[in-house]
Amino acid sequence: MNSTLSSAVALHGIHKYFGVVRANHDVSLEVAPGTIHGIIGENGAGKSTLVSILFGFYAADSGRIEIGGKPVTIRNSADAIANGIGMVHQHFMLVPTFTVLENVMLGAEGGALLAQGRAETRTELAQLSEVHGLEIDPDTLVGDLPVGLQQRVEILKALRRGARILILDEPTGVLTPDETDRLFDILRALRRDGVTILLITHKLREIMEVCDAVSVMRQGEMVGHRIPSETSREELAELMVGRKVALEADPAPADPGAVALSADGLTWRDGTGAMRLNNVGFELRAGEILGVAGVSGNGQSELLNLLSGILPVQDGKIRLGGREIDRAHQAGPAEMRTLGLAHVPEDRHLRGLVLNFTAWENAVLGYHRGERAGPNWRINPSSIRAHCARLMEHFDIRPADPSLRAGGFSGGNQQKMVLAREIDVAPKVLLVGQPTRGVDIGAIEFINERLIELKRAGCAILLVSVELDEILALSDRIIVMNAGRVVGTIPRSQADRQRLGLLMAGVAEAAA
């Protein structure tokens, strides 16, 4: 760790409002040079707004910024870059059809003579790769690179522009465990080279593993600064939420019953002819949680959409509730629901909610032709409002206002709204996609408890998640997907992050 006296970054008394919403209130932060400094907080805590002010996306309403002990004015990202600040966004800002070299020089071409700029960029890339251990082929198309190497391109882009302060926003959300370990090795190497790193993450394990210091935000305010070696995940979670939080799920031992859902030879191609699922098969039993692990984009979404009836079966079979579904005998989402299947989709905005509808209208989506919509199978708004109010109380949805538009709720409360609707029908089979994506620690605890309760009641649950900690905490058995295929099936007792990570990366493709 660099021991110079001045801070690499200092934020003093930062205030930022969006209308009446208080995003940052009197936030101060100092980051020592040559350190990895974590910033954590629940959704809406203000951490993204804070680093967006530092990188020039937003202007603070008041407060001041210092870089290297000197006051600076950052009006836009060009000012931030000129002050040695770089940012790697959660969703990469890359052109897939450009090479690594072209992406790195994009926006900093070095003048009208591109040939000279390309040559200079190639030399600089070679130097940066050697100095920081970021080797990569400059002539490879970015779209052909795995996600971990695409992220490396983003880091090289920032370093080439002179970044000595590097902001990373949720950098591990799309990485395998092995890619995450390699990223952390890169960050440690950058730290040794004197680069200061701000790491925005919601994963407490990562804070404890790689950070030198951590700052905690809650409801727009800075509520604590800690040294990871002198604190615990439990203390950090309590600072984030304002109460004690159970970080680990405590599932009951599995007592699986009869097969509730099975798939055999499911193969599916998209409109371009690309194979998204390749001969996928499994059995899911009553009273168990079957986890599906894999890096996003390896067929999990297509599997959920086929099993829920959103996509038609092309090849293979699905068996549910005594019904066999295949190419000649299809079943849409409405029929799948009548067979006892409920679905919490991966993207709550795309498939789970209509954001312009009220909470009470969303409470019966997909079930509006049933008894929950009113007596005698007729839609009765008063009955639905009462039904929604009951769900809100039972699932702790805040604010408990059935007339509020779904888009007015936080991400965690939106997720609980979808989960409440699907669990309330007491399904025989529940498909759950990314149940805690973008969800606060407190809501994660609540959602995990509800899933475990449902399992104890005999429901068969298929859990799809890119979060290995979630898969390991909740699943009784785990299947791993890579390139649309099931490459391993592992009992929870034999699973660990390393073994799952190898399977996710396609390294060990034998069934366990």
Domain-located, residue 288: yes
Domain-located, residue 1: no
**Are 398 and 446 in a shared domain?**
no
Query: What pLDDT digit, counting tens, does each position of 315-368 carry?
Result: 999 999 999 999 999 999 999 999 999 999 998 988 999 999 999 999 999 988
Closest CA relative to residue 270, chosen from 294, 295, 302: 302
**Are 20 and 157 in a shared domain?**
yes
Domain-located, residue 277: yes
In whole angstroms, give the CA distance from residue 69 to residue 88: 24
> Which of 200, 224, 241 represents a domain boundary (last residue)?
241
CB distance 50 to 14 below 8 Å: yes
Domain-located, residue 31: yes
In whole angstroms, give the CA distance from residue 272 to residue 321: 33
Number of domains composing the chain: 3
**Are 362 and 474 in a shared domain?**
no
pLDDT of amino acid 147: 80
Most confident of 37-46, 244-253, 387-396: 387-396
Non-local (6+) Cβ contacts of 14 within 8 A are: 24, 26, 27, 28, 50, 53, 60, 62, 63, 65
- E strand or H helix that includes residue 279: strand 275-285
**Are 300 and 444 in a shared domain?**
yes
Query: What pLDDT digit, counting tens, does each position of 278-312 carry?
Result: 999 999 999 999 999 998 889 999 999 999 999 99
| Structure token pair of residue 152 | 């490396």
**Are 42 and 109 in a shared domain?**
yes
**Are 210 and 82 in a shared domain?**
yes
- Any idea what DSSP says for residue 486? E
Domain-located, residue 178: yes
Query: What pLDDT digit, counting tens, does each position of 171-218 carry?
Result: 886 677 778 888 899 999 999 999 999 999 878 888 999 999 999 999
Is pTM beyond 0.75 here?
no
**Are 184 and 253 in a shared domain?**
no
Query: What pLDDT digit, counting tens, does each position of 16-75 carry?
Result: 998 887 899 999 999 999 999 999 987 778 888 999 999 999 999 999 999 999 999 999
Q: What is the CATH number of the domain that holds 485?
A: 3.40.50.300
> Which of 188, 221, 241 represents a domain boundary (last residue)?
241
> Which of 181, 211, 241 represents a domain boundary (last residue)?
241
**Are 68 and 185 in a shared domain?**
yes
- Give the domain range for residue 189: 9-241
Domain-located, residue 345: no
**Are 412 and 511 in a shared domain?**
no
Cα→Cα distances 161→83, 86, 164, Å? 10, 8, 9
The gap between the terminal CA atoms of the chain, to the nearest Å, is 42
**Which residue type is seen at 474?**
L
Query: What pLDDT digit, counting tens, does each position of 91-127 carry?
Result: 788 999 999 999 998 877 776 667 777 888 899 888 8
**Are 128 and 164 in a shared domain?**
yes
Q: Strand (E) positions, 113-235?
A: 165-169, 196-200, 213-218, 221-226
**Are 199 and 266 in a shared domain?**
no
Domain-located, residue 147: yes
C-alpha 367: how far from chain center:
29
Domain-located, residue 348: no
**Are 271 and 333 in a shared domain?**
yes
